[in-house]
Structure 1
């Protein structure tokens, strides 16, 4: 199954009266923002029922900021205090919470966001939070996932999208994309191959959320017409 299979063709698109209200999404980022760009492109092309309402970066040099600005998406840079000191996590969370409350997203996406959020932030979030993690959870939580997978001699590797909780990389895994590890892979080459999976898995997962195939809230359950789906995580098998 691929993400393309889930995108309606022009012949299948519903009338304006039937169209689903776009899913309002905010991103938290720290770096390049390549996954953000994939969603920006999909939004601008009208390929997905989403609206990116804002991007928060904890680094003022993150290229993701430029990507958002070029798409006229509101950006909040929460990297340093007015005195020039790096912003502590409590201060960051206070400002981020206020900004997210103003944007009123339906979903918050962590994509390459490199700070650990507190229980106070996740428990009081104005919307569900999901994270894109470069490993097949529950294996390889934390950092350096590609190098660790190679050192262990894994046959399979990939990426996961999971619900964010106060415990690091421990929330419900929603979807995963998998590939075969190449014997000649280095950490860099494996990272590049997994990133290609990320660019397919994130829009695929958000499309499932937007269409109600995956519940946005933990207490929600899929409708009867999709109850035949396998238990989570849903897996996208790719071999690139």
Structure 2
């Protein structure tokens, strides 16, 4: 079986990255993680990826005169790894339209809400403040509009009466780690 080559973009510890790395270890998983790229040199996820023998790189956007030059350099790095699919896993930068369009249909993200509800940041706090009874996460295609791409998979969790942001986030994260590898598998198999 020819496996799709995947790069993961992170900014922090990369817990979803770790879930993807673990899933890709299965012999029958249709994708392999070939590189992890961070926009923060101190991202703990880089060390985790390196401990699994995965190529790593960091690029600070502040070192580039423009976002376009930063993203062009990211593209060169991804192309050097011969990447087929890009997975965002806590990559805390809004990507430009040219970069997003370059990877159209081959770049996915995990978002901690049931999109299209609660796009953007602070989803757990916003869900609690709104008195919602249900929350969850969505794996979706990345498009130029923030959190607007078509959903691939969603998982739902109940909002409990005594939930805090932390307890709700922890339950959602368990589901993120479950559905992100499944969504990558479906994309790598061409089922999207």
Specify the TM-score bucket, using the shorter chain as the normaliser: over 0.9
Structure 1 70/36 Cα, relative in aligned 2: closer, same or farther at 3 Å? Answer: same
Quote the residue 2:50 is aligned against: 69
Q: So what's the TM-score if we normalise by structure 1?
A: 0.75
Quote the residue 2:72 is aligned against: 94
Quote the residue 1:56 is aligned against: 37
Q: Tell me by how many angstroms 1:182 deviates.
A: 0.7
Quote the residue 2:101 is aligned against: 123
Q: Structure 2 matches for 1:124-203, cutoff 5 A?
A: 124-125=102-103, 128-203=106-181
Q: Determine if contact 1:32/1:63 at 8 Å carries over to the other structure.
A: yes
Q: Tell me by how many angstroms 1:100 deviates.
A: 1.1
The Cα RMSD (Å) is 1.8
SS in 1 for 2:115: coil
Which structure's relative contact order is higher, taking Cα pairs within 8 Å and 6+ residues apart?
2
Q: Determine if contact 1:78/1:87 at 8 Å carries over to the other structure.
A: no
Quote the residue 1:10 is aligned against: none
Deviation sequence 1:105-134 (CA, Å, 0-9, x none): 121000111000011111123871111101
Q: Tell me by how many angstroms 1:208 deviates.
A: 1.7
Distance 1:87 1:112 in 2: 24
Q: Tell me by how many angstroms 1:87 deviates.
A: 7.5
Quote the residue 1:78 is aligned against: 59
Q: Tell me by how many angstroms 1:173 deviates.
A: 1.1
Q: Which is helix-richer, 1 or 2?
A: 2
Q: Specify which of 46, 71, 74 is matched with residue 27 of structure 2.
A: 46
Q: So what's the TM-score if we normalise by structure 2?
A: 0.93
Quote the residue 2:85 is aligned against: 107
- Could you tell me which runs of 5 or more consecutive residues in structure 2 were left unpaired when the two chains were aligned: none
Quote the residue 1:218 is aligned against: none
Q: Tell me by how many angstroms 1:46 deviates.
A: 2.7
Distance 2:49 2:30 in 1: 18
SS in 1 for 2:41: coil
- Could you tell me which runs of 5 or more consecutive residues in structure 1 were left unpaired when the two chains were aligned: 1-19, 216-240
Q: Determine if contact 1:79/1:87 at 8 Å carries over to the other structure.
A: no
Structure 1 70/127 Cα, relative in aligned 2: closer, same or farther at 3 Å? Answer: farther
